Amino acid sequence: MRYDFDEAINRTNTHSVKFDYTREYFGTSDLIPMWVADMDFRTPDFIMQAIRKRTEHEILGYSIRPDSFYQAIINWYRERQDWSIERDWILFSPGVVAALSMAVNAFTREGEKVIVQPPVYHPFFSVIKDNKRELVYNTLLEEEGYYRMDLDDLKQKIGPDTKLLLLSHPHNPVGRVWSPGELKELADLCLENNIVILSDEIHSDLVFHPHVHTPLSTLSHEIADLTVTCIAASKTFNLAGLSSSAVIISNEKLRTRFSHEAQKGHLYMGNIFGTIAMETAYREGADWLEQLLAYLKGNAALLTEYTEANLPGIRVRSPEATYLAWLDMRNLGMKSKQLRNFMTRDAGIGCNDGPSFGPGGNGYQRLNFACPRSTLQKALHQLKRALDRR
């Protein structure tokens, strides 16, 4: 079956954060929302059908996750990422951010240090600060729009009370798929210093050929032993509103500590529709995902080519993964507030503001291109007109 990603679907008045929270967030709703990381494409028909089928039984009581749920996860990761996951390693979390927060509590104590690699997805900061841990920045190095980890800086910053590192893999917002070599160097440093790595792999299905995602845990037994991996079908299949994800932990001690946190917060129940959607996505989603990736790749090409040809002062590299583009607008010479106003008022586009991603974010905007191509074209034309008028 061919899926239609060109269809423009009106999302306003659906209680969508991306569409219905724009006035509160940007001060205007008269813009194209290209911020929150969900997609403007229909959630796949086979998932909607599975949800509809369940609604035919009109009792929505407490539910369990059946064996088939776990098997669907195991099969998907074995086939797509060459990763052998055992049934017992899989824990539930009502979303990846909730899992990050549980991990901070499970693997560190108040006052201990947690490392992040900015510019990075902003809840990485709040889960550390809100739990009264110390946030340590290991800022990424940027050259010509290409990002690398700064392990020399990391070495300087590791101390006896450094207990956890939050890794975004693939990285939001810089779009890198970390290579096995880069991951190994990072993990070796963490092994030497007894630091647990929380590898947030929520974007790992959204990787563009020829790049290949290597789950951190697959590098070696020792590395698997210090790794806690977050996975979800929510970005890939547009299910974020169902608040469902999984945490994979092969090390029994780490798993017990994490489970204890989940129990403390009574966060392990989940919801019927999240379970059904996740299982169905992993069982039936391969073909849909291939088509989605091809479409997104087309959007990324449009974005990069148009920017290069028509948007002087803006630079963007095609991401290796994710539907998020990291626009380097530093050459426009605008201060943060001015840039934000330029985007929202002059160009009429609602992106995420670079500084919210921490150090290294000044002068950047994050643009979500998981939308029909016509929407992206419109946004790019608006941006060009706004630049021409300056």
Residues in the site for ligand PLP, rule: CB under 6 A?
Answer: 37, 95-97, 121, 168, 172, 200, 202, 232, 234, 240, 245
Shortest spacing between CB 221 and ligand PLP, in angstroms: 26
Q: How many CA atoms lie within 13 A of 7 on its CB side?
A: 10
Buried b (16+ CB within 10 A) or exposed e, 358-377: bebbbbbbbbbbbbbeebbe
Residue nearest to ligand PLP (CB): 95
Shortest spacing between CB 177 and ligand PLP, in angstroms: 13
DSSP string covering 223-266 = HHHTEEEEE-SHHHHT-GGG--EEEE--SHHHHHHHHHHHHHTT
Of 44 and 173, the one with the shorter C-beta distance to ligand PLP is 173
DSSP designation for 315:
B
Of 26 and 306, the one with the shorter C-beta distance to ligand PLP is 26
Buried b (16+ CB within 10 A) or exposed e, 315-341: bbbebbbbbbbbbbbeebebeeeebbe
Of 246 and 339, the one with the shorter C-beta distance to ligand PLP is 246
Of 202 and 277, the one with the shorter C-beta distance to ligand PLP is 202
Shortest spacing between CB 125 and ligand PLP, in angstroms: 12
Which amino acid is it at 225? D
Shortest spacing between CB 153 and ligand PLP, in angstroms: 21
- At 167, phi and psi to the nearest 5? -105, 130
Shortest spacing between CB 17 and ligand PLP, in angstroms: 11
Shortest spacing between CB 213 and ligand PLP, in angstroms: 13
Shortest spacing between CB 219 and ligand PLP, in angstroms: 20
CA distance readout (Å), 364 to 19, 150, 327: 22, 20, 5
d(CA 84, CA 98) in angstroms, rounded, equals: 25
d(CA 371, CA 295) in angstroms, rounded, equals: 10
Of 234 and 307, the one with the shorter C-beta distance to ligand PLP is 234
Shortest spacing between CB 367 and ligand PLP, in angstroms: 14
d(CA 33, CA 350) in angstroms, rounded, equals: 5
Tokens in use for 205?
């299905």
Q: Which helix (H) or strand (E) element contains residue 365?
A: strand 364-368
Of 229 and 311, the one with the shorter C-beta distance to ligand PLP is 229
Of 267 and 332, the one with the shorter C-beta distance to ligand PLP is 267
d(CA 277, CA 280) in angstroms, rounded, equals: 5
Of 247 and 316, the one with the shorter C-beta distance to ligand PLP is 247
